[in-house]
Structure 1
């Protein structure tokens, strides 16, 4: 009779009760959503200052309520439906993109763990021995949301945008995966918690793996379809790309997934190359957020200053530059790890 209660009260990994993991997942999801909301405001403000103009400054003091105003607008906006669209896939696509984007942040560690009220609280939602593979697998599933959305809309512009998305993300995903092989070989683990721990008290991997870090940033920018690699949404050519026929909150879900993918990419970069939550004096989560925001600022800076590539230049750069460089970096790292 006591088997079920004992199972329900049993602790998870490293002594953490299961219900604490559920509470943490809820908190982390909402923090990521808040970060996404105010990242849109920060991006518009930063771009405005860099281009010698004001960003949003009407909704609330200093424009701080602009994300809420945007949400209200999207909720009230008509969510039209193309007559020739494929019903189920058209509706399902933005939800798939948003769901996979939110899932990927669950394995990124943000702190060392704490003991509160006799309970062990780990600095991550889940620690999996193949966490890095899980992130790439979920990211690959998320691509289907963008592809299905463009195809099911029955619009030539949306279809061209989804085709570009498929070609671009599949191409750059190869270089992205190869760029982290050096980190995996140095840490001898696919667990993100182990990778962060391997950088504690030693050199962060951004120094010995600087080439991998640069390739990761460039390939990650293309994976999230950010400028100068935003060809799937090139408004001068494709109106808006794969989400041309979407409005209201369906469009909002696509936009949310793009920004959350950017946040996850930055968090993964911090974890793999910049020591994760490690740093002097300040608490671990504060260091993680500082590094995360620095990378997000870098992505905004690049979007503001670098012009968009042509599509042939985009594909040539991915296959003829990033892929050989990432492969060479992985081979040299493997030789050095075995030799040393």
Structure 2
């Protein structure tokens, strides 16, 4: 690979990282506005409130960047980057078309899972370093949530890797068949629920829990640093949605011509992202004990059963 190709891939990955999360954020504004009858997001800029996201960005830029006196300044300032950058790495490794990925590595499944796990540490760093008891409680809740839901999520992905006989996302997408929609359905449900929980999205937003913890681990953040945490959340939705589309929905396989396979992948990912937004609007927040019970008593056994079923299917030559 030449230097020009490396630069082109890096620029493309960065452009996608900057654009796709904003598209998801704009979609969330509009979907929530329609479902909840919220008029404000429909007026900014005129037609269908197209400038609402721009207005939010201007608002964050104008706010003063403050660091609490009791905070661990270096960790406090580094936390938004730790929350955001791993999703850039994960997005770069996701293939949207045969041979189209910024990072082409043999074990791309492991790379994506490792990167998404690191992203949750940014919330823990923010909670610990803020010098605020509400932030600390939010950070500890985020750590407990990460431990609880990482295992079923990894097992669900491991089931697909076992079925496809590879740790390469591109290879798994090529070997995908419609039969997987039924065979791997329990693992798909586990992955989607665990993925939303890892992103700390409603109804799994106990680390934020604005009615209890002000804004959780993000309480002391203002301006662009707070915006980076929001951008990391939307970037996480993009990564989870595209990973789901590649592993369970066949990625670029569809009725579109082969040259437009990337568009088919993005379309599937957008549908999954809309489902994540719909869950936020429709379901109330769980209690912390309900969160842990769902992970350990339901999702983990279901993920283990999916792995056993997949192993039996591989041995039987299904």
Question: So what's the TM-score if we normalise by structure 2?
Answer: 0.95
Give the superposition deviation at 1:24.
Answer: 2.3
1:56 maps to 2:41: yes
1:318 is aligned to 295
Specify the alignment match of 2:125 in structure 1: 148
Check the 8 A contact 1:204/1:275 in 2, yes or no.
Answer: no
C-alpha distance in 1, partners of 2:271/2:256?
18
Residue pair 1:157, 1:241 contacting (<8 A) in 2 also: yes
| Alpha-carbon offset, residue 247 of structure 1 | 0.3
Contact 2:84 2:231 in 1 (8 A): yes
Which deviations, in whole Å up to 9, do the C-alpha atoms of 1:231-252 show, x marking residues without a partner? 1111111111100000000101
| Distance of 2:141 and 2:190 partners within structure 1 | 21
1:274-293 to structure 2, matched below 5 A, reads 274-282=249-257, 283-293=260-270
Hey, what does 2:278 align to over in structure 1? 301
Moved over 3 A (4+): none
SS of residue paired to 2:42: coil
Native 8 Å contact 2:252 2:264 kept in 1:
yes
The Cα of 1:277 is off from its aligned counterpart by 1.3
User: Which residue number in structure 2 is paired with residue 181 of structure 1?
Assistant: 158
Match of 1:40 in 2: 25
**Cα distance, 1:134 vs. partner?**
1.0
SS at match of 1:233: coil
1:64-83 → structure 2 map (5 Å cutoff)? 64-83=50-69
Superposed CA offset, 1:283-330 (max 9, x none)? 101101110111111011111111111100000110111001100110
Q: Confirm or deny that 1:205 pairs with 2:191.
A: no
CA RMSD of aligned residues (A): 1.3
1:92 to 78, 87, 105: 78
SS of corresponding position for 1:207: helix
Contact 2:82 2:119 (C-alpha < 8 Å) held by counterparts: yes
Deviation sequence 1:146-169 (CA, Å, 0-9, x none): 111110000011000000000001
Change in CA separation of 1:18 and 1:187 when aligned onto 2, cut-off 3 Å: farther
Structure 1 stretches of 5 or more lacking a match? 1-11, 113-121
Query: Are positions 1:132 and 2:109 aligned together?
Result: yes
Query: Among 185, 202, 206, which residue is 1:227 paired with?
Result: 202
Q: Please report how far the alpha carbon of residue 262 of structure 1 lies from its aligned counterpart in structure 2 after TM superposition.
A: 1.0
Does the Cα contact within 8 Å between 1:44 and 1:55 map onto a contact in 2?
no
2:24–2:238 contact (8 Å) kept in structure 1: no
Count of residue pairs the alignment pairs up: 314
The CA deviation at 1:129 is 1.4
Contact map agreement 2:256 2:264 (CA 8 A) in 1: no
Unaligned residue ranges in structure 2 (runs of 5+):
none
Q: Distance in 2 between matches of 1:216 and 1:144?
A: 20
Q: Kindly indicate whether the alpha-carbon contact (under 8 Å) linking 2:156 and 2:306 is maintained by their aligned counterparts in 1.
A: yes
CA distance in 1, matches of 2:226, 2:18: 16
- Secondary structure at the residue paired with 1:180? helix
User: Residue 21 and residue 206 in structure 1: after superposition, are their counterparts in 2 closer, same or farther (change >3 A)?
Assistant: farther
Distance of 1:232 and 1:135 partners within structure 2: 23
SS at match of 1:206: helix
CA distance in 2, matches of 1:93, 1:57: 33
